[in-house]
Amino acid sequence: MARYFDVHPVNPQPRVLHQVTRILQDSGVIAYATDSGFALGSLLGNHSGAERIREIRHLDQRHDMTVVVSEFAQLGRYVQMDNRVFRAVKAATPGPFTFILPATREVPRTMQHPKKKTIGVRVPSHTAVLALLDRLGEPLVSSTLILPGETEPMTDGWQVNEEIGHLIDAVYDSGDAGVTPTTVVDLTGDEPEIRRQGGGDPELFVA
């Protein structure tokens, strides 16, 4: 059963950050509150963790996983951006967007789309998530916690623990999860494609 961590939303406890970091470093998978509902996450290099996330959500290899970082400046390490895309993404981060872009060599091939070689990237606007990312010193590979058959993300930590606690290692719950998933924007083509309408304003990407 997952360990449940009640996290202060403004000043996450150092003890909690340390313990959750250790779980992730030991190849763990966590559910964590974000500004766009709960998400599932493991360390970027944790191949078994990514597979566990896919199994929980019933996703195949063609689903773009998301690399979650704490600031815009880190994105260039994981995705390729020309000047146009760079400006568009910078203007919309941090915030409730996931951007699909070509992955760099820093992203393990097993976590990229098998044919398109893409990956999602995201910079959340959420104090407890940013504190965890800063403590880790590396990104999470993640997916919104939308259970099979559902269309909206889970938003309550206790419910997450009750329903999938036996499938994950920890619940990182700051009690302030958003209720709307991210807007997913595919920026790999000549024109932006809105794959999922969520909390972000798509007008930012409409010419």
3-state SS, the chain, equals CCEEEECCCCCCCHHHHHHHHHHHHCCCCEEEEEECEEEEEEECCCHHHHHHHHHHHCCCCCCCCEEECCCHHHHHHCECCCHHHHHHHHHCCCCCEEEEEEECCCCCHHHCCCCCCEEEEECCCCHHHHHHHHHHCCCEEEEECCCCCCCCCCCCHHHHHHHHCCCCCEEEECCCCCCCCCEEEECCCCCCEEEECCCCCHHHHCC
The pTM assigned to this predicted structure is 0.95
pLDDT (tens place) for every residue of the chain, 207 residues total: 899 999 999 999 999 999 999 999 999 999 999 999 999 999 999 999 999 999 999 999 889 999 999 999 999 999 999 999 999 999 999 999 999 999 999 999 989 999 999 999 999 999 999 999 999 999 999 999 999 999 899 999 999 999 999 999 999 999 999 999 999 999 999 899 999 999 988 888 875
The CATH number given to 3-200 is 3.90.870.10
Domain boundaries, the chain: 3-200
